[in-house]
Structures are given as structure tokens and as C-alpha cells.
Amino acid sequence: MSRGWAALLLLSIVSALASGCNVQRRYRYLIPQGYTGWLCVSFGVPHAPALPVEDGYEIVSFPPSGIVETSTALRPGVGYGDEHLFYDGDGNRNVVTSGQLGGGFTESSGSARKVEFWVSPDVRRDQNRYVGRGVPVQCGPFAK
């Protein structure tokens, strides 16, 4: 293979890898360390504060209640690079693993949108207890 073809092949591989890493950032969800329960964000709420931006992410910082309201409009869609992090009182952040992040959904009411999802130390174990058939979604921490 000539140097020209090798360089072209290398450039093609690097471009393909780089385009796969170019995921648009959307939300960085900050969850209190040790929190278990439903987390709810109401977007498009008039007179609520807008979400701050950090490293290209809009920051949704949950208080212990698990409920946030913001005037920022929801950016719906798939393929975004959201982050879910636990935070503690010292400002430390730890990634929420897939085994700690339960399902969720979005509700609409007029121009307002509400995103709801849940976290638990073990979502498989807690699936039926907290979000099984017939268990209502209730924003906030799970009962102990």
C-alpha cells in the first residue's frame, strides 16, 4: 500500500471514530448521594429559574426532595449525551451506574414537560417494590 493510501485510510478511520464521539451534550443530572426514589424535572415552568450551564451541559441539580422546576424548555429527542451523577456535601461527584438508574418517561401538559426517572442502589431488586405494576409514580424519595 502506498503512503498516500495509508494516510487516507488512517484519516478515514480517525474521522469515523471522531464522528462517533461527537455526541451533543444535553443534561447533567446531579443527584444527592444515597438518594433512592423518583426524580422529577418540570421544564418550561414560567417564573422558575433557568438551568445553569457547565461544560456544555445544562445542570439539573436535585435537592433532597427529588423535585426541580425550571423555565428552561425541554430538549426532547434521542442520541444526546446526558450524564447522571451523585454528589455529596463536599462537592464530590460519582457516576450513577446502569444498575442504579431505573426507567423513566416524559409527560406533557400544555407547554410544560415533566421528565421522571428513578434511582436505587439495585434497580433489579427494587423494580417491583417501587415501580411494579399498580405502584403509582410519586416524585420524591422512596419510603424506607
Is the alpha carbon torsion for 124, 128, 133, 139 positive or negative?
negative
Query: Is 92 part of any domain?
Result: yes
Query: Is 46 part of any domain?
Result: yes
* Dist. CA 125–CA 99, nearest whole Å: 10
Q: What is the pTM of this model?
A: 0.79
Number of domains in the chain: 1
Query: Is 17 part of any domain?
Result: no
C-alpha cell at 16: 469515523
Which residue stretches of the chain have pLDDT < 50?
A: 1-20
Is the alpha carbon torsion for 123, 128, 134, 138 positive or negative?
negative
* Dist. CA 4–CA 110, nearest whole Å: 58
Query: Is 7 part of any domain?
Result: no
Query: Is 4 part of any domain?
Result: no
Q: Count of alpha carbons within 13 Å of 35, Cβ hemisphere only?
A: 31
Task: With H, G, I as helix, E, B as strand and everything else as coil, classify residue 42.
Answer: strand
Query: Is 15 part of any domain?
Result: no
Q: pLDDT tens digits, residue range 90-123?
A: 989 999 998 999 888 888 877 778 999 999 999 9
Query: Is 131 part of any domain?
Result: yes
The domain in which residue 94 lies consists of: 24-141
* Dist. CA 114–CA 109, nearest whole Å: 8
